Structure 1
Amino acid sequence: MNKFLHAGIIASATVILDQLTKYTIQSSLPLWSSKTIIPNFFNLVHAVNKGAAFGFLNRADITWQRGFFIVITLIALGVIYYLIKSMNKIYKVQVTALSLLLGGAVGNLIDRILFGQVTDFLDFYIGNYHWPAFNVADIALTVGAFMMIIAVYINKNDGSDNITN
């Protein structure tokens, strides 16, 4: 399969799943409310975040986050495109990883452009200790980043050079 087709399918599926799940939460759960799914472990919540991972720059007293994160995301999308284009062979793990990064970035970019903030809804916790709420795009970004790390490590050990012309 063509590497751009492979990337497009995975990224598109990621964006669609991300946007559908966010829409479902936005239309069924009032903002800042939660619904217990597994007591003392998992809730569905309707939260928003103007910042980045772990609430970085999620502050009401600054107003430049939206533009900043849109520009950073557009730069990242360009880098991802360049990396996919630069691969001289089809490496499914790397293309899949980059596709997940692409889909996750676009999913959260849509929220930033439309709403100025990202909708989060998955809330895992033990007792009073909560992991920051996240969404499908965040999962794709995390899985894609770990896949890239693993792929780079594996390729480093087998002597291959797959991101050069």
Structure 2
Amino acid sequence: MTPAAVASPGRLAGADAAPWKRPEVWGTVLLVVCDQLSKLLVLQRIGLHETVTVIPGLLNLTYVRNTGAAFGMLNAHDFAYKPVLVAALAILALLGILWYARKFAGDAWPARYGFVLIVGGAVGNLIDRVTLGFVVDFVDVYFGTWHFWAFNVADAAISIGAILFAADTLFSRRHVPEAV
């Protein structure tokens, strides 16, 4: 490991470390496993559109199929190549995230953990799209009669990861121009 990698407090593992020795890889794998296990439990125990109340007035588990993109976009539209288009868009987004992280993300923990959460979530949902043709969503947060979009572990990870990435981008010192 280089001296810079050791000296950087935000650095989780050296870039030269073997992939299986990097905490980011294990974090991503753990996230994908948790996401897929939670969806498997939903598929086995909750019927389509069935609701299980967890916290009355706040949280239900409701199994829905998301055949569209994030937050149900394109759900109302059906066309022949929709599953292929949505999966291709997901792959392009994942590749864009990987490129961005490699090019711009720093060693600070918000960027590194944000990257793990976004990639793990994207892979979890991509597995659903490729194997099932839809994403399993089941977390139903609501207040009175207003319901947020149903989501899953992968969606939550992507959202939190995006916030961490944005915080790193907005508040990182490496983006501040040096005084002349």
Q: TM-score band, normalised by the shorter chain?
A: 0.7 to 0.9
Out of 140, 143, 151, which is 2:157 matched to? Answer: 140
**In the alignment, what sits opposite 1:30?**
47
2:80 is the counterpart of 1:79 = no
TM-score (normalizing by structure 1): 0.87
Q: 1:74-115 CA deviation, whole Å, 9 max, x = no partner?
A: 222223333343368633221211111100100000000011
Q: Which runs of no fewer than 5 residues in structure 1 stay unpaired?
A: none
TM-score (normalizing by structure 2): 0.80
One-letter code aligned to 1:103: G
Runs of 4+, deviation exceeding 4 Å:
none
Over 3 Å counting, the alpha-carbon distance change for 1:44 and 1:154 in structure 2 is same
The one of the two structures with greater contact order (alpha-carbon pairs below 8 A, sep at least 6) is 1
Match runs of 1:5-154 below 5 Å: 5-59=22-76, 61-86=78-103, 90-154=107-171
Take 1:149 and 1:89, find their aligned partners in 2: how far apart are those partners?
12
Take 1:120 and 1:127, find their aligned partners in 2: how far apart are those partners?
20
What percent of counterpart residues are identical?
32
One-letter code aligned to 2:92: I
State the 1:67 CA deviation. 1.1
Deviates more, 1:134-143 or 1:54-63: 54-63
Taking only aligned residues, the RMSD between alpha carbons, in angstroms, comes to 2.0
Report the number of matched residues: 159
Larger Rg computed on CA atoms: 2
* C-alpha contact (below 8 Å) 1:6/1:95 kept by paired residues: no
* C-alpha contact (below 8 Å) 1:12/1:103 kept by paired residues: yes
Take 1:139 and 1:27, find their aligned partners in 2: how far apart are those partners?
21
Q: Which runs of no fewer than 5 residues in structure 2 stay unpaired?
A: 1-12, 176-180
